[in-house]
């Protein structure tokens, strides 16, 4: 399987998967012109579109693509108005391009957010980013925390294909909380080198995120100290909520 990203809009990534037969999937098409250019250049045939949630920067290209390519569009109920014609829900299995994709329900960023998992790939939209996670636009902190715990249980070699290039900002936030953490500082340096060259920082992996993503490390005593809290007397999701709030205020 070949996996490529198309930088789109301000900082989005549209993911395209294609096989030896030149059949492809499009994931979260926030626009369509660059997609047309790529499929024409590579002589690809679109067989399906996958949507993780309803935000326009992930769906705005769907209807234009459907006019040219009348294919199946898989997404959660909240994406019906964007063009979804096959609604998916937790634990559904989609067989596409000869691979099985399991649907994971990951509310938090939106109420109906989903991800698509086919070992070792996870296409998670705005649920998880490298060194960060999605903002809580509709869901609760507890929902997002539980969604990240679900992701956290996937195999360590799982490759994370997020839908935004937010890594530089996220890792700078992490370094502001844990300035002496060797894993974070090392990753910050690597990310800086890539972004200077305008290179993508994705995909990342579960193993990497367990080391550098603060939202996977709410049990960390140093993080709790910075938040003036303790897991001894506070549920872990509430620690996550405080960390998410602090991230929202970081510039």
Q: With contact defined as beta carbons under 8 Å apart, do 22 and 43 qualify?
A: yes
Instruction: Please tell me what DSSP assigns to residue 214.
Output: G
Tokens 């953490």 locate to 181
Q: With contact defined as beta carbons under 8 Å apart, do 54 and 78 qualify?
A: yes
Residue 153 burial class via C-beta count within 10 angstroms: exposed 0-12, middle 13-18, buried 19 and up = exposed
Tokens 């960060």 locate to 132
Which residue numbers are catalytic?
Answer: 53, 55, 57-58, 109, 126, 164
Q: With contact defined as beta carbons under 8 Å apart, do 29 and 14 qualify?
A: yes
Q: What does the angle CA 205 – CA 209 – CA 211 come to, to the nearest 5 degrees? A: 130
């Amino acid at each position: 399987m070949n996996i490529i990203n198309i930088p789109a809009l301000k900082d989005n990534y549209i993911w395209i998967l294609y096989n030896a037969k030149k059949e492809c999937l499009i994931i979260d098409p926030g626009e369509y012109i660059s997609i047309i250019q790529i499929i024409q250049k590579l002589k690809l045939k679109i067989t399906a579109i996958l949507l993780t949630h309803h935000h326009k920067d992930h769906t705005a290209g769907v209807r234009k693509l459907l006019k040219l390519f009348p294919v199946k569009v898989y997404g959660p109920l909240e994406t019906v108005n964007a063009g979804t014609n096959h609604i998916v829900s937790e634990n559904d299995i989609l067989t596409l391009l000869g691979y099985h994709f399991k649907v994971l329900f990951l509310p938090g960023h939106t109420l109906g957010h989903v991800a698509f998992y086919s070992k070792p790939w996870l296409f998670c939209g705005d649920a998880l980013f490298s060194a960060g996670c999605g903002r809580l636009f509709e869901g609760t902190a507890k929902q997002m925390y539980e969604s990240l715990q679900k992701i956290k249980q996937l195999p360590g070699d799982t490759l994370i294909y997020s839908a935004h290039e937010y890594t530089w900002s996220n890792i700078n936030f992490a370094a502001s909380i844990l300035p002496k953490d060797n894993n974070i500082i090392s990753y910050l340096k690597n990310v800086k080198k890539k972004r200077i060259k305008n290179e993508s920082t994705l995909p990342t992996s579960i193993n990497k995120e367990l080391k550098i993503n603060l939202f996977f490390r709410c049990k960390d005593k140093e993080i709790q100290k910075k938040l003036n809290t303790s897991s001894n007397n506070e549920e872990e999701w509430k620690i996550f909520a405080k960390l998410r709030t602090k991230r929202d205020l970081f510039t």
